[in-house]
Structure 1
Amino acid sequence: MAFQQGLSGLNVYSKALDVVSNNIANASTVGFKAAQAHFADVYAGALNGSGASQVGIGVGLAAVQQQFTQGNISVTNNALDIAINGNGFFRLQQSTLDQTGYYTRNGQFHLDKSGYIVNSNGGYLTGYDSADGVNVDTASIVPLTVGTEGIQPQQTGWSSSLDASQGGLIIGVNLDNRDKKAATIAAGSDWTELTPFAWDSTFNTSMYNYSTSATIYDQAGASHTLTNYYVRSGDSGVDARTWDVYTVIDNKYLVSATPTQLEFEPNGTLVGNAGDYRFELDLSATVMQDGTAMDLTSDTGLNWFAQSPGVSGDFAFYMDMGKSTHYGMAYNTDDIIQDGYTAGTLTKLSVDEKGFVVGNYSNGQTKLMGQVVLAEFNNPNGLQSMGDNLWVETFASGQPTIGTPGAGTRGSLQSGSVEESNTDLTQELVNMIVMQRNYQANAQSIKTQDQILQTLVSLR
């Protein structure tokens, strides 16, 4: 009498119950992938005949396959909680030197004391680094780190962030064509006497037609107010389309006693192109103070751009007024753009769907810290589970293909979210009932075999 079939059933369904119990136990584990027991019948060719008379000798556990289906995504309050929506795994390293890859779907990350992005077990999230804060280096994969230091100030000046035909400061205004008033105090020596400006009765709106101001920044990140005063040169003929512009800094320093001249076409646009009206404010040039020549780069109290100890040197930037117009409509400042900013501290981090890690600073600037990468495998079920929500590659899984989120068949990322376990509790409870009944049935088959054997033994 054979007990093999019933005993194999007890063994297999006991393991199947272990699988179901493990799924239920991890129903709240972020990034967990539920497993499923696969069964196979067992035959022995040398026993119980062959072909139509062959009798099986039980059941075996063929495999325990994890189901890499998408889990639900829930929102959290941590910007470094990252959920994968689609295929792929985060790649981790156990140290900055050990380049062995570990893979996970658990995207619960935070910063360690050194600024590295790590998981709860101290594993380092890897990706592409950004050395310049603008582009990423895709040549190598390294642990991602976030510089928690502040961002340095940038003085107003030439920058590629502005159009190549424009300067560090862009001021576009409309000067009212209908205003025929010319300044009652002529430009030139009379303006020179007001350098630096004194806001008293000697300076009033009768001296200019329109003014507009912009904020600019020096090398130390200190802000300064730049004001342009627009004075209509004449009231007839070509002179009626000519304007003098006086530039004053901090309501005190007249940059040059010689104004910049804007000349307009009859249709209200500037004569020539915008580049003709881009000029450099070089504060090493002498200016006038009460009729006396002064040098802003050397005279005490006038080195306005050197507000911090140790800051020295010339301060120059470009101002482009090429967007100015001369239409028959009210005065208006249409556009002010400048590329300087003060120093800033890191206020928050964000990760976009492509995996770009961006730092946001108190001065409104942003800086690219790096880019998270995702790994894919031809056979995810060939991965070996290591615990702690980690897998490692094996010969069966094949080598990973690593790239950016959203590229190819890789999923996209969702910051401030986590992927929940894909365990279906309802299904698992049903599976538990089925496995329990199967276990009981196999126990009953052994009991029946025992009763038959007892009958045989009792024969006399």
Structure 2
Amino acid sequence: IQGDGFFILKDNHGATLYTRAGNFQVDVSGYLVTPSGERVQGWMEGADGTVNTNTAIGDIRIPVGTLKTPIATTEFSLDLNLDAGAVAGQPDGTFSTSVEVVDSLGASHILTVTFTKTANAGEWDYEITIAGADVGSSNATEQLATGTITFDSNGQLSSPASSSPAVNFDITGLANGAADMKLDWYLYTSAGAPRLTQYRHASALSAVEQNGIAPASLIRVAVGDGGRILAQYSNGHQRVVGYLALASIRNPDSLIAVGNNNFQTSARTALPAVGLPDTGGRGKVSGGALESSTVDIAKEFTNLIVYQRGYQVNSRVVVAADELSQETINLKR
């Protein structure tokens, strides 16, 4: 924690404790706990997949090993250039690329997009196909959509126009029983810039995007900056599944130490204000970091020298007093 605040814990008896030690771990039941077994408090995602930090805090339980539900693809895009020097009927007059889409059951399908140069300047035909076996056909491929695109004299896409930014088509009768897919192939960005160009350069794909997500297992959970609990899945996707709660206490010196870096409130302790890190005066939470000591080394060394000199002076006073006493005794004799 960088700044003020404490992590909130619950012990086995339901008592609330506070700590600044963030060396948490996951127990056999999936709860986020301290090394001594207290459960860390915060907010977890609900059934709708969102985290509502306006509700009461509770135990943080990590769903390790659970399977993420697949999300079917509804749109995709291809960023590519078609060679302006291509000649119809020649090898460079045909260019093919592919995109992998996901159906409602999480199965992947490869769509092939083939561009063929026509005899007209700046004009290309396109065809989108899928493997016949994917749709229960005995043919090698099945056609999904065809059309023509046109580029202007500057190599920019002119038809279809930006007012009709997507090519719409359906995939029906999937052999695995998945729901029919309605897909949009976006030829323009959200800002209206064309994703396809035609310059005098070899035809090539530069980027491909699609919004489907295949099913995946949760393999790792970590606490990130800001107290976010990040879940990482086997397909490489990462998302926030919860937040750590932080308590701000106006008079932390009134807390009572109960061992294991934990504290509890006393009768003099102000009511803790609970909220997200880095809000309401609460400090920031840095993942994978250790809190630095609050001791000023230079100041402590200076104090040590002062104390040492004081000890030396006082010891000399004792020696002088002893000598005076001895001289007094000798005078009496």
Fold similarity call, TM over 0.5: yes
Q: Give the structure with the higher percent strand.
A: 2
> Structure 2 matches for 1:195-234, cutoff 5 A?
205=91, 209-234=94-119
Paired residue for 1:153, among 67, 70, 73?
70
Asked if the contact 1:246/1:254 (under 8 Å) is kept, the reply is no
The question of 1:113 aligning with 2:28 is answered yes
Q: Secondary structure at the match of 1:273?
A: coil
Note if contact 2:105-2:178 (Cα within 8 Å) is conserved in structure 1. no
Q: Give the equivalent residue in structure 2 for 1:321.
A: 187
Supply the distance in 1 between the matched residues of 2:42 and 2:254 (Cα, whole angstroms). 24
Instruction: State the SS of the aligned residue for 2:202.
Output: coil
CA distance in 2, matches of 1:382, 1:283: 66
Is 2:235 aligned against 1:363? yes
- How do 1:20-419 and structure 2 match up within 5 A? 84-94=1-11, 98=14, 100-131=15-46, 132-148=48-64, 149-157=66-74, 168-179=75-86, 181-183=87-89, 205=91, 209-234=94-119, 239-250=120-131, 252-256=140-144, 259-271=146-158, 272-274=160-162, 276-284=164-172, 297=173, 303-304=174-175, 306=176, 311-322=177-188, 323-419=195-291
* 1:389 Cα deviation after fit: 2.5
User: Which segment is superposed worse, 117-126 or 388-397?
Assistant: 388-397
How far residue 422 of structure 1 moved from its aligned partner, in angstroms, is 6.4
CA distance in 1, matches of 2:118, 2:239: 46
Q: Provide, for residues 259-309 of structure 1, a one-character-per-residue CA deviation record: whole Å limited to 9, x for no partner.
A: 22212223222225345252333123xxxxxxxxxxxx1xxxxx34x2xxx
> Which residue identity lines up with residue 141 of structure 1 in the other structure?
I
Deviations 1:145-182 (A, max 9, x none): 2111121222221xxxxxxxxxx210122122222x22
Per-residue CA shift, 1:330-365, capped at 9, x if unaligned? 312132111223221222222222100101111011
- 1:183 and 1:137 map into 2 onto residues whose CA distance is 61
Counterparts in 2 of 1:348 and 1:324: CA distance versus 1, 3 Å:
same
Structure 1 residue 214 displacement after superposition: 1.9
Instruction: Give the Å deviation of 1:391.
Output: 1.6
Structure 1 pair 423/328, CA: closer, same or farther in 2 (3 Å)? Answer: closer
Report the secondary structure of 2:121's partner residue.
helix
Q: 1:275 to 1:156 in 2, by over 3 A?
A: farther
* d(CA) in 1 for partners of 2:263, 2:19: 6
Q: TM-score, normalised by structure 2?
A: 0.76
> Structure 1 unaligned runs (5+)?
1-83, 158-167, 185-204, 285-296, 298-302, 438-460
Instruction: Report the secondary structure of 2:207's partner residue.
Output: strand
Specify the alignment match of 1:41 in structure 2. none
Matches of 1:378 and 1:229, distance apart in 2: 67
Equivalent residues of 2:224, 2:286 under 8 A apart:
yes
Structure number with the bigger relative contact order (C-alpha 8 A, sep ≥ 6) is 1
Shift in CA distance, 332/424, structure 1 to aligned 2, threshold 3 Å: closer
2:316 matched residue in structure 1 = none
CA contact (8 A) 2:117 2:125 kept: yes
Q: Is this contact kept in 2: 1:283–1:314, CA < 8 A?
A: yes
Work out the percentage of aligned pairs sharing the same amino acid. Answer: 27
Structure 2 gap ranges (5+): 133-139, 189-194, 312-333
- Helix, strand or coil: the match of 1:367? strand
For 1:282, give the aligned amino acid.
D
Over aligned residue pairs, what C-alpha RMSD do you find? Answer: 3.2
**Matched residue type, 1:169:** F
Alignment CA distance shift 1:87-1:342 (3 Å)? same
- Residues 167-209 of structure 1: per-residue CA shift (max 9 Å, x gap): x210122122222x2248xxxxxxxxxxxxxxxxxxxx58x52
Find the aligned partners of 1:133 and 1:412 in 2 and give their Cα distance: 25
CA deviations 1:83-104 (Å, max 9, x no partner) are x232211101125x94x42111
The one-letter amino acid of 1:112's match is: D
Deviations 1:18-58 (A, max 9, x none): xxxxxxxxxxxxxxxxxxxxxxxxxxxxxxxxxxxxxxxxx
Deviating 4+ runs (over 3 angstroms): 132-136, 272-275, 417-427
How many angstroms does 1:106 deviate by? 2.1
Partner AA of 1:89 in structure 2: F
Query: Secondary structure in 2 aligned to 1:347?
Result: strand
Q: Distance in 2 between matches of 1:230 and 1:106?
A: 59
Residue identity matched to 1:265:
D
